[in-house]
Chains A and B, each alone.
Chain A
């Protein structure tokens, strides 16, 4: 239980509103875990707290036994914890290759080349646009670039927020299928995903967050065949359409 991420009784808020009300969860080294939940449940807030963009109000966040709650984001990245942020955060004025290079600071030139090659292999679309400013890419291509930056960064602990956002289904399947090759096999992956069916397929465990609290957690296998049941029961969604 020393390896990986451990969150206990975490409380986080913005301004006068608390949005995470005492969450306990853990992601052990080498695991693939999904964090599910409806819009506004607080999923991204938890990721941001782990990566140091937000500070906890109470509770602890430890990584490999070290307390990282409230540490600077750059210090947390140095530990190998990398987040792919939601919504295509790339540097629009830099070209594709420059964007990728900013993700592998301080690594040797040889390994850098090799890492870029892996990223370009995963997203051939990017290889043909090496010298195009990222701002001119289409929305989906920007998302590819954000993911490629994570590949290049070679994290030990990878957090992805809304990986499938705006990506063609074919690419989503390929990316998840190749997770093991794109990163090393023992990498820990912590996913936030709206698409529960997809997340359950590629993860071993899941947590469902509702209104800032853990509503359910368990083995992905139990719901893999019927993600809709999980959606209806726990995602706080009450459809009242015709």
Chain B
């Protein structure tokens, strides 16, 4: 403990691990800029391809929209064509009937289709991916029907021509100029989506795709994020619709059916649904291939289908995923000789004394939890049958009991993962009835028996997710990547690195959690929960599946962190040796009720506990 008293003078964890800080330009932006610059110049040289270029831009824009709602948030939509349709016909009406130009078309379409997106996204709160696909399929179906019948808006079966292409009264030639206008729009879309992908929203969307439960426990408003992703996605698709009608100069309702949606999804799947570059590659694939090799046009469907099947089997990340795999293979071969062995360098200092973690110190104990008459029942079985207890601030309390006694259910009732009767008060704040994320924000941190990690995210991302509540930048600032965003992201990176260092996970920061052994995954789960310095940590079997010595070391680190921040700990554990060692007070549950509550020594000698749980 004396080591903790000495002031810290070592090198920050972030630098020791070589974690690069986020900057203004990310790889997504560079993809956007490269496409922009290349085609800006190619547009005039190869003017015979203007039409294909325009359509590629439209597809890439919708692809970027789908990266948000589908690739990241995991919501498969077969109805995006309806946003394009709405955008296209609004454009036709604004230009024809009102005689206005892009300055009106773009913001109006963006606003209306954004709201449409929010509405269409609503079902995603209730149904899973497959049923959402069916629901959006139906929406596209009905949408086209409405367009057919609303003749005033869409011209019915005969459709409507595009109006003049103007901006603040200036009229433009279509051709090359339109390609350049499209490129500017595409660059803006890639900039916006890229910023979301690399900001807190993107991280949250990636997280909720792989485990909603864990995302909620990190304090994320999952419901709003899902709808918001749909809204932004719809808005971008609407803008793409404006470009679409100006490109083809004519739109009729039958163009915006489900088939179009499916081609758009197909393009993104072929390109790679998790990356903006995938949106660009996919668009090029479905539009340039038939253009280049005219003979294969008859075989288009067969080729797309075949490529899709092959990619699904061998590279779920699409063509971009294939490229990334090859690239990492090359890098691995090049760098396999370099051995990094700086984990235990002399510069290592206690992480709790770092500039990032030292201010988390609370001088008074927190985490005073009052549970009053909590009850949960599953179909007539009282899993938790009206129990009441208090947890003292800043204390480590054990919760033990036979299997099925209701320990985890009790946790779920406290954190809101399950509906429960009774009252739950944390440091004077009544959280009964509040949703999971609000309780998390009120100061609960928890881990899970079955971990609930986000398999394809890196270790560092998990801690950053835990820190989400520390960000104060708004989503608008995020979209433009304001200086505040970069500053706060950098602070979070530094703090996350120190938390990882404290939990001895620093050297694994860049690993996907799926690739880690079980014991380290357990640490990641704990690190994520404690990163935002909750008032009370609820640990569900932190030692299960790891040797006692290793578990004890991990718990020593967790307790040191909790002591530093004044937080309380409530821990469920079957490793009695460990529980007795770290918990001054132990609560024993049996059949949904509290069997005993007292000091470790008293519990160890309690006859009822020995008979029901410990054994002789």
Which A residues lie at the B interface, using CB under 8 A?
16, 38-40, 86-87, 125, 136-141, 143-144, 162, 164-171, 173-174, 194-196, 231-232, 235, 237, 239-242
Contact = CB atoms under 8 A, between A and B. Distances in A.
- Of A137, A194, A195, A231, most B-chain CB atoms within 10 Å: A194
23 contacts: A38-B519, A40-B518, A40-B519, A40-B520, A86-B545, A136-B378, A138-B406, A139-B541, A140-B403, A141-B403, A141-B404, A143-B403, A165-B545, A166-B449, A167-B403, A168-B403, A169-B613, A169-B615, A170-B402, A170-B614, A194-B546, A231-B549, A239-B552
Interface of B: 1, 3, 332, 378, 401-404, 406, 408-409, 449-450, 517-520, 541, 544-550, 552-553, 556-557, 560, 574-576, 612-615
- Of A140, A141, A144, A164, most B-chain CB atoms within 10 Å: A140
Given A40-B519, A170-B615, A239 B546 contact: no
B615 A174 contact: yes
| Dominant SS among interface residues on chain A | loop
Given A166-B449, A169-B615, A231-B547, A241 B552 contact: yes
Nearest to B609: A170
B576 A140 contact: no
Nearest to B400: A168
B609 to A, nearest CB: 10
Contact of B556 (A38, A86, A136, A242): A242
Given A38-B519, A166-B403, 19 more contacts: A39-B519, A39-B520, A40-B520, A139-B408, A162-B545, A164-B574, A165-B544, A166-B541, A168-B403, A168-B574, A169-B615, A194-B545, A194-B546, A195-B548, A196-B547, A235-B547, A237-B550, A241-B552, A242-B1
Given A139-B449, A144-B403, A167-B574, A173 B547 contact: no
A173 B615 CA distance: 7
B303 to A, nearest CB: 31
A39 B402 CA distance: 26
B546 A39 contact: yes
Given A241-B552, A242-B1, A171 B402 contact: yes
A218 B276 CA distance: 57
Contacts of B556: 241-242
Contacts of A242: 1, 3, 556, 560
A235 B550 CA distance: 10
A47 to B, nearest CB: 14
Contacts of A164: 574
B378 to A, nearest CB: 6
Contacts of A232: 549
Nearest to B406: A138
B549 A235 contact: yes
Contacts of B1: 242
Given A86-B545, A239-B553, A39 B614 contact: no
Nearest to A42: B517
Given A38-B550, A139-B541, A168 B401 contact: yes
B541 to A, nearest CB: 6
A57 to B, nearest CB: 19
Given A39-B517, A173-B615, A166 B544 contact: yes
A170 B613 contact: yes
Contacts of B557: 241
Contacts of A40: 517-520
B407 to A, nearest CB: 8
Contacts of A239: 549, 552-553
Contacts of A165: 544-545
Given A168-B403, A174-B615, A194 B547 contact: yes
A128 B560 CA distance: 43
Contact of B612 (A125, A138, A170): A170
A137 B556 CA distance: 31
Contacts of A166: 403, 449, 541, 544, 574
Nearest to B548: A195
Nearest to B517: A40
- Of A143, A171, A231, A241, most B-chain CB atoms within 10 Å: A241
Nearest to A15: B515
A147 to B, nearest CB: 12
Contacts of A196: 547
Contacts of A137: 404
A171 B405 CA distance: 13
Contacts of A162: 545
Contacts of B378: 136
B560 A125 contact: no
A237 B547 contact: yes
